Amino acid sequence: MEERLQKLLSQAGVASRREAERFITEGRVAVNGTVVTELGSKADPERDRITVDGQPVRPAEKKVYLILNKPVGYMTTLRDPEGRPIVTDLLKGLDVRVFPVGRLDYNTEGLLLLTNDGAWANRLAHPRHEVDKEYLVRVRGAVAKEQIRRLATGVELDDGPTAPAKVEVSSQSDNNTWLSIVIHEGRYRQVRRMCEAVSLSVVRLRRVRYGAVSLGDLKPGEYRPLSPTEVAALAGREKREQRRRKA
C-alpha cells in the first residue's frame, strides 16, 4: 500500500518526519532511481525501491504476536538436529518469521507465545517482571497436603530453590490428581522437576495461562494473533501506565 515518503522514512527509522521532509526537498530521496522532491509523493515499500543518499531503505518489519496451543511431540526451537517436528511447522499461512518466547519441552503442551519482536520477548523473559504462568498438571495417585505445602513454599532443585508458587488441587480421582501450579520463574523443565522433588509422577503437563492471556478454546495445533490489549498487558505497559496516572 502506498504511503507518503516522509512517513515511510520515519517508520523505517531513517529520520523523524520533519527530517525526512527535509531529505525529500533537498533531493536526497529517490524512488526506483528517480529523485523525488515533492512532499506529497508516495511509494509502496513492498514494491518500490526507496533510497536516501543512494542507500536502500528497508521497510519497517511488521511486528507479529501469536498464541499457539502446542501439542505434545513438537520441539520449541527453530531447528532440531534430530529432525523432530518444530512448533513453527504448525504456523501454516504465516508469511513472517517468528520465534518462540521461552520454551515448552517436547512432552509438554499448551500455551506458547511466538513473535518477531525481540524487545517484547526479552521483557517477558526478564525475571524482574515476574509474569505468572499457570500449568495444569496430572500426577499419579493422591497428593498429600505436605507435598502441596512444599511445592507452594519452594523446593530445592539442582540449580537452587524455587520461588513460592500457588498450588491448588483442581480435581482428584482414585488414580490421578490434577493440580493447578502458578509460577513466575522460567527454568528448564521447572514444573516437572518441582513435582519430582516432592515424589510426584507427572502424567500430563499443560500450560493454560501466561500473564493475562489464557489458552481459551484454541485446539491443539491452532494459533491466533494476540490482540493489542493482550500484547500491552503481557509487556506490563498497562500497569506502568496506571502507576504513572496515579503518581
Burial of 160 (0-12, 13-18, 19+ CB in 10 A): exposed
Please pick, among 105, 159, 174, 217, the residue that the annotation labels catalytic: 105
Rounded Cα gap, residues 115 and 127, in angstroms: 19
User: By the 8 A CB rule, do 61 and 45 touch?
Assistant: no
Judge contact between 70 and 85, C-beta under 8 A.
no
- Given CA atoms 216, 218, 223, 224 in this order, what sign does their dihedral have? negative
HSE toward the beta carbon, residue 27, CA cutoff 13 A: 0
DSSP 141-198: S---HHHHHHHHH--EETTEEPPP-EEEEEEE-SSEEEEEEEE----TTHHHHHHHHT
| 80 is known as an active-site residue | no
With beta carbons less than 8 A apart as the criterion, state whether 227 and 206 touch: no
Distance CA 138, CA 152 (A): 17
Q: In angstroms, rounded to a whole number, what is the distance separating the alpha carbons of residues 239 and 129? A: 11
Q: Which residues are catalytic?
A: 105
